[in-house]
């Protein structure tokens, strides 16, 4: 049974995928271990779904500084289309402009947090979406 208060956040990269789990009640997210960007993404998400029971996935959409779709955004769109065909969860795209810089700053200011840049980016993407809910 899914929990409507739990949400998964993903930062899709060419080599790594940042992962975070968030809560609609507390409006907070926690980075999880990254995934390698490979053909097993659907399986990995389904495994997380069994563990965390989420029904929504928030995925960072890499827009240009001007808010346009660039090359990376088209790559993400292809992955998202495959995920929408393969997964029963709702998938929502979230603007991820400047999250890598924000994640770098966040980790530098919080050295006790053991997360990758990708995981911290997924956390910030997810918390941005959660804040507007």
Model pLDDT, residue 92? 98
Which residue do the tokens 């609609």 mark? 24
Question: Does 66 reside within a domain?
Answer: yes
Model pLDDT, residue 41? 96
How confident is residue 99, by pLDDT bands cut at 50, 70 and 90? Answer: confident
Residues 6+ apart with CB under 8 A from 22: 6, 7, 8, 9, 28, 29, 30, 58, 123, 126, 127, 130
Question: Does 39 reside within a domain?
Answer: yes
Please, what is the Cα angle at 105 between 75 and 127, to 5 degrees? 60
Question: Does 118 reside within a domain?
Answer: yes
The per-residue pLDDT for range 38-68, each reduced to its tens digit, is 999 999 999 999 999 999 999 999 988 888 8
Question: Does 1 reside within a domain?
Answer: no
Question: Does 44 reside within a domain?
Answer: yes
**What DSSP state is assigned to residue 122?**
H
Q: Please tell me the total count of domains within the chain.
A: 1
Range of 105's domain? 6-131
The per-residue pLDDT for range 11-44, each reduced to its tens digit, is 999 999 999 999 999 999 999 999 999 999 999 9
pLDDT over threshold 80, residue 72: yes
Supply the CATH number for residue 47's domain. Answer: 3.30.420.140
């Amino acid at each position: 049974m899914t929990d409507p208060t739990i949400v998964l956040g993903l930062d899709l990269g060419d080599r790594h995928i940042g992962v975070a789990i968030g809560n609609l009640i507390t409006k907070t997210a926690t980075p999880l271990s990254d995934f390698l960007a490979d053909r097993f993404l659907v399986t990995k998400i389904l495994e997380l779904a069994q563990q965390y029971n989420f029904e929504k996935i928030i995925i960072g959409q890499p827009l240009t500084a001007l808010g346009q779709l660039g090359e990376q955004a088209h790559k993400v769109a292809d992955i998202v289309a495959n995920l929408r065909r393969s997964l029963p969860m709702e998938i929502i795209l979230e603007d991820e402009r400047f999250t890598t810089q924000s994640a770098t700053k966040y980790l530098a200011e919080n050295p006790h947090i053991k997360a990758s840049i990708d995981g911290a980016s997924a956390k910030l993407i997810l918390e941005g979406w959660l804040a507007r809910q």
